[in-house]
Amino acid sequence: MAVLDELTRPAGDDDHVGGVPARLVASPKSTEEAAALIAATPGLAVVVRGGGTKLHWGPPPRELDLIIDTRRLTGMVEHAAGDLITVLRAGTPLRELNLGDQQLAIDSPARATVGGTVATGASGPRRLHYGTARDLLIGITVVRADGKVARSGGKVVKNVAGYDLGKLYTGSYGTLGLITECVFRLHPRPAAARYVRSTAPAQAVSAILAAQVAPTAIEIDSATGELAVLLEGTPAGVRDRSALVEKLLAGEVSEEAPSWWGRDPWTPDQIGMKLSVPLSKVGSLLDSGSAVRGSAGTGVLYAAARDITEVEGLRAHCVRSGGHAVVLTAPAPVREILDMWGPTPGLALMRRVKNQFDPEHRFAPGRFVGGI
């Protein structure tokens, strides 16, 4: 109990998750401290909090005792520029990284931390070219539900030794334990970047892909009817390619992104969804009448739904198209009657994984697919 008192403090009014209050809050400053904490608190239900930007996504926890806050688990452990990798502690806000003329190419809102971004598998417009956290993560350190520390991957990009736990933890919504450290592969910052903005329809996307201009992002927004492309590279190359795309889309080259670029399309009182469909079905998604915005180049978009009927309609459409639709956030009364995750192929196997990693179901109970 002494350990508990040392490492935790009582929760305040702001220390809740989706309306479910916690009793205790802890802010460990190292992996070892986090491990000691978790080992010392068997039976306590835990939710991990980073920047809080996505804390209330997903169903609220079935029970909650302890919030583990990563604000002190912060900092760059290593930046090996010559090898294009960096080792970061999970609580490090992505927007605060200083990597010189290299970048960790993940789009994220302000305050979002490394750990939170990995745990939710969050991504933005540039995923078309760079991939997502899943593709950029090359090593991970976690603390299991039983307090043991485990590492997988490493500090080199080419690595198939052992299982890739990093993939498993990415998008696991904190249900498999606490992520304390991540190793990422980096990219050089491009010398030049330009946006091409237009009102071309979704059907124009295939023309852009066919044009072999290697776009960094192709984003579309149903509310404004805009289609915008981001091109990066050498100054001369970007000039040429944007001119080509400009012509293709009857658009306009700009140094500024549209105001809607990379922003969630929903307001706090609305239902926020993440939709994913095969590329060929993006057009019909935009024709559905809902407010949809996102990556037309990868088929991953976001929608603002007004009510459950719209949610179900969108979900049915996505599933029929061979994709899926997840409700990320919704007002409390709606949340209670909504199936936020939707159909999940492989759920039985996922339950078995959860049971191995967290047999007592302490970590984020009830927040994940199938009530995991």
Is 187 a binding residue for other proteins by CB under 8 A? The answer is: yes
Under the binding rule (CB under 8 A), the answer on residue 322 touching other proteins is: yes
- Rounded to whole angstroms, the Cα distance separating 365 from 166 reads 21
109 forms part of the interface with other proteins (CB under 8 A): no
Task: Please choose, from the candidates 131, 109, 186, the residue with its C-alpha nearest in 3D space to the C-alpha of residue 297.
Answer: 131
CB of 278 to other proteins, least distance (A): 4
Is 174 among the residues that bind other proteins (CB under 8 A)?
no
337 binds other proteins (CB under 8 A): no
Burial profile 324-344: b = 16 or more Cβ within 10 angstroms, e = fewer: bbbbbbbeeebbeebebbbee
Residue 92 Cα to chain centre, angstroms: 15
Determine if 191 is a binding residue for other proteins (CB under 8 A).
Answer: yes
3-state secondary structure 44-108: CCEEEECCCCCCCCCCCCCCCCEEEECCCCCCEEEEEHHHCEEEEECCCEHHHCCCCCEECCCCC
Stretch that binds other proteins, among 1-9, 45-53, 59-67, 338-346 (CB under 8 A): 338-346
Question: Which residues within the stretch 257-286 sit at the binding site for other proteins (CB under 8 A)?
Answer: 274, 276-280
Q: What is the rounded distance in angstroms from the CA atom of residue 363 to the CA atom of residue 67?
A: 10
Rounded CA gap, 365 and 70, in Å? 19
Please give the residues from 350 up to 369 whose contact with other proteins meets the rule CB under 8 A.
350, 352-357, 368-369
State which residue, 158 or 256, has the beta carbon closest to other proteins: 158
Asked if residue 180 binds other proteins (CB under 8 A), the reply is: no
134 binds other proteins (CB under 8 A): yes
Q: Minimal distance in Å, beta carbon 158 to other proteins?
A: 4
Strand partners, 151: 141
Distance from the Cα of residue 156 to its chain's centroid: 23
Does residue number 253 form part of the binding site for other proteins (CB under 8 A)?
A: no
**Residue closer to other proteins, measured from CB, 24 or 277:** 277
Give 76's strand partners: 88
Q: Name the residue nearer to other proteins (CB basis): 280 or 332.
A: 280
Decide if residue 76 touches other proteins (CB under 8 A): no
Could you say which residues in the range 7-26 bind other proteins, by CB under 8 A?
A: none
Distances (CA, A) of 152 to 167, 183, 346: 10, 10, 23
The yes or no reply on residue 218 touching other proteins (CB under 8 A) is no
Contact call for residue 103 and other proteins (CB under 8 A): no
**Binding residue (CB under 8 A) for other proteins from 70, 113, 298, 329:** 298
Does the footprint of other proteins cover residue 321 (CB under 8 A)?
yes
